[in-house]
Structure formats: C-alpha cells, structure tokens
C-alpha cells in the first residue's frame, strides 16, 4: 500500500486530529448514539485496532509495509513492544524536524529532507527514515534559501505555541537554528494520543 496523497481533511474527519499530517481540525461532528432497548451484539475489536493503527500510519506518513517493519523491529527489541514502536517512529529524522518546529507537518519535513536542506552532524542526509540518536545535531544547509524556509517555519510554529519536547533542544546560532537530540523520547511525551497496545494487537499475527 503506497503513501496516502489524497485530501487530508477526509482522513482527519475519520481518524480525528493528526498533528503530523495536517494542522486542520475535524469539521464533522459525531452524532451521539441513541439508546436502544434491546441488547446490541458485542462489537468486534478489529475495527478499533484498525482505526488506531491507521492513526499511527497517517500521523507519521508511513506506508503499510513500513509500519509493519517497525512493528517487527519493536517486537525483537527489549522492553514493551508498543513503547519501543513509538520510540522508533519518534526518532525518525522527518519526525524530529517536525517536533523541532523546522517543518509544520511531517510531510513537509520529509520534503525538506528529500530536497537536501537538512544536515545531521554536518553531513547532508536525504533519507527521511534516518534514525536519529542521542547527541545528533540537526542543522540547515548553508544556503540562504534553505535558511529562509526553515526560519519561516519556526516562526510560524512558535506563533502557534508549539513546544519543543524535552528530549530535543532548539538553539539559535547567529541567523541559523540548530537542533540537538538530547535523549530517546519517553513514550509518555509523544504528541499523538494513541493506545499503542491496540496497534501491537493488530499486528500480533504478522510479527
């Protein structure tokens, strides 16, 4: 399944707010369910797990194959599979750039990386899925166009009162911003409100 490129509001209306996908908010109001006198059948857990998995996939801008691969890596790692999965996704370069405020969305961050605007430890990295590590320095290519694009994004992010999470640090050196990855994120501080156990349960038969 390829990466979604259709209307984002349609996805947000179905899956609720996804800050990584778009700044838009749902415009569809869910009608309250009316009470019925007869006992309804117990709902299946599959749609609930599927919806939670879809929220993760669209928020981080992944294909189905990519998310499944991350789930398999998390399963083989030490610790809680769900927490490790979210940490792997949060440490992707495109997500780090988004969380620093250098891009307004994760698709926007992916474009910055692919167009070679971003340096990691003073080397150009054009792979959005690059896994950042503690003490990595995220900087901007020394070209005025690159600097202007990211400075403008940071100004907009700060205007929207978007906070840089505790595991990252955003520094300003002269006219440029530099991001520092201080440590691996605590899964409790992830911006997307998600029940990661439902995602693990969805993939339980495939990992």
SS3 (DSSP) at 137: strand
- Condensed to tens digits (0 to 9), the pLDDT of residues 13-30 reads 788 777 788 776 777 655
Residue 18 has a pLDDT of 79
Residues 65-81 as b or e (16 or more Cβ within 10 Å = b): ebbbebbeebeeeeeeb
Check whether 205 has a pLDDT greater than 90. Answer: no
Which residue is it, tokens 């792997």? 88
**CA nearest neighbour of 61 among 34, 81, 89:** 89
The model carries a pTM of: 0.85
Q: How confident is the model at residue 122 (pLDDT cuts 50, 70, 90)?
A: very high
Residue 14 has a pLDDT of 80
Cα dihedral 195, 201, 202, 203 sign: positive
Residue 161's Cβ-side half-sphere holds a number of Cα atoms within 13 Å equal to 0
- Condensed to tens digits (0 to 9), the pLDDT of residues 159-203 reads 877 889 899 999 988 878 999 999 988 766 776 788 899 999 999
Residues 8-35 as b or e (16 or more Cβ within 10 Å = b): beebbbebeebbbbbeeeeeeeeeeeee
- Condensed to tens digits (0 to 9), the pLDDT of residues 135-154 reads 999 999 988 999 999 999 99
Residue 36 has a pLDDT of 55
Query: Rounded to the nearest 10 degrees, what angle do helices 93-100 and 106-114 cross at?
Result: 120
**Dihedral class, residue 172 (left if φ above 0, else alpha if ψ from -120 to 50, else beta):** beta
- Condensed to tens digits (0 to 9), the pLDDT of residues 29-71 reads 555 555 555 555 666 788 999 999 999 999 999 999 999 999 9
Domains of the chain: 92-185 (3.10.290.10)
- Condensed to tens digits (0 to 9), the pLDDT of residues 74-103 reads 999 988 999 999 999 999 999 999 999 999
**CA nearest neighbour of 201 among 53, 1, 15, 44:** 53
Partnered with residue 179 across adjacent β-strands are 138, 170
């Amino acid at each position: 399944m390829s990466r979604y490129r259709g209307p984002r509001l349609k996805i947000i209306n179905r899956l609720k707010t996804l800050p990584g996908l778009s700044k838009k908010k749902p415009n569809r109001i869910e009608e309250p369910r009316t009470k019925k006198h007869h006992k309804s059948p117990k709902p299946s857990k599959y749609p609930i797990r599927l919806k939670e998995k879809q929220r993760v996939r669209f928020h981080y801008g992944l294909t189905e194959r990519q998310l499944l691969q991350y789930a398999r890596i998390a399963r083989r790692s030490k610790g809680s599979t769900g927490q490790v999965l979210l940490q792997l996704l949060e440490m992707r370069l495109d997500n780090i750039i988004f969380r620093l405020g250098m891009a307004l969305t994760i698709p926007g961050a992916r474009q910055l990386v692919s167009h070679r605007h971003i340096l990691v430890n003073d080397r150009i990295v054009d792979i959005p899925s690059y896994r950042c590590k503690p003490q990595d320095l995220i900087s901007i290519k020394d070209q005025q166009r690159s600097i202007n694009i990211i400075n403008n994004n940071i100004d907009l992010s700060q205007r929207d009162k978007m906070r840089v999470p505790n595991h990252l640090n955003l520094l300003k050196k002269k006219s440029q911003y530099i991001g520092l990855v201080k440590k691996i994120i605590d899964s409790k501080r992830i911006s997307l409100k998600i029940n990661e156990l439902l995602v693990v349960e969805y993939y339980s038969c495939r990992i």
